[in-house]
Amino acid sequence: MEFPLVRKRRLRRTETIRRMVRETKLSVDDLVAPLFIVPGSNIKKPISSMPEQYHLSADTVSRECAELFDLGIPAVILFGIPESKDETGSQAIKSDGVIQNAIREIKKSSPGLTVITDICLCEYTSHGHCGVLKEKDVDNDATLELLAKMAISHAEAGADIVAPSDMMDGRVGAIREALDANNLENIAIMSYAAKYASAYYGPFREAADSTPQFGDRRTYQMDPPNAREALHEIQLDESEGADIVMVKPALAYLDIIRQIRDNTLLPVAAYNVSGEYSMIMHAAEKGLIDGDRVMIETLTSIKRAGAEIILSYFARRISEMLGNKG
């Protein structure tokens, strides 16, 4: 059949009809809110490159998480900026570290909130790279031991999910083995399985104070033109015990999200990263776009591509718009 019998506009006529036949529905249940934790108390300091995002101390983030949970957001992911840094990122594994303290405070105020923690050394090392250095390169195998200790420390503090973002070979297996050996077998691993060496991370590096002091991360993060390699990374992490796999960034890699969704039975997450967020926020501030509509359209595209879980700095704003009904 064709026009005039077929008139596609019939099902676009009203908002109610459009809602009824909508194929992809964005919900607060899809969202994870990233948060940046700093030492101290009563701190809520704006991050200049990321409008409406803040550095938060443990007490302040506890209150923030209670509000997010009340809005229906099921999970947060925590990134820590320690009091001091050194060559090996030793602050990352301390039981009273900035993230460990924040986890305990969050679990007191919002025990039902899922707490995910970033497992990577870049925020903790004085050189800004994601592991232990051997000359001017990251020593993959020496780094695995520290990542495993970091994951154990976070889990013992109360984290529900640990999320290795370092892109070291074998880190999912090392973390899974370490968790299981310490009676933490119920802690899930959300692997940054396909993390690309992207130019979209700029604002995050200011927020997390994690800019490399020399070189870049292209020897361990993925080369942006590669797609088949992402599928191989997913297969490897799945075989090592990952419970959730992630693609980062999201917008420039929607094709990767779709390919991974079609090739794994695991839940697929995608990170709507800082550069994607800040471009929309700054363009909206200048009146160049309708920020809220572009935000919804962007996150809907990520879900339509196949992501069940979306890490996004828009989480609070979207939850306020959508409400608990999704």
Query: Is the pLDDT assigned to residue 210 strictly greater than 80?
Result: no
Whose tokens are 């390169």? That residue is 137
Domains and CATH numbers, the chain: 24-322 (3.20.20.70)
Q: What gap in Å lies between CA 300 and CA 24, rounded to an integer?
A: 7
pLDDT (tens digit per residue) in 261-315: 999 999 999 999 999 999 999 999 999 999 999 999 999 999 999 999 999 999 9
pLDDT for res 214 = 66
In the chain, % of residues over pLDDT 70 = 98
pLDDT band for position 14 (cuts 50, 70, 90): very high
Four-residue CA torsion sign, 127, 129, 132, 134: negative
Q: Mind telling me the catalytic residues?
A: 195, 248
User: Per-residue pLDDT for 134 more than 90?
Assistant: no
Q: Please give the Cα distance from 272 to 311 (Å, whole number).
A: 6
At 167-181, the pLDDT tens digits run 999 999 999 999 999
Q: What is the pTM of this model?
A: 0.95
Residue 326 has pLDDT above 80, yes or no: no
Q: What is the DSSP string of 7-59?
A: -GGGGGSSHHHHHHH-S----GGGEEEEEEE-SSSS-EEE-TTSTT-EEE-HH
Q: Which pLDDT tens digit goes with each residue over 80-107?
A: 999 989 888 899 999 999 999 999 999 9
Tokens of 115: 């707490």
pLDDT for 215 beyond 90: no
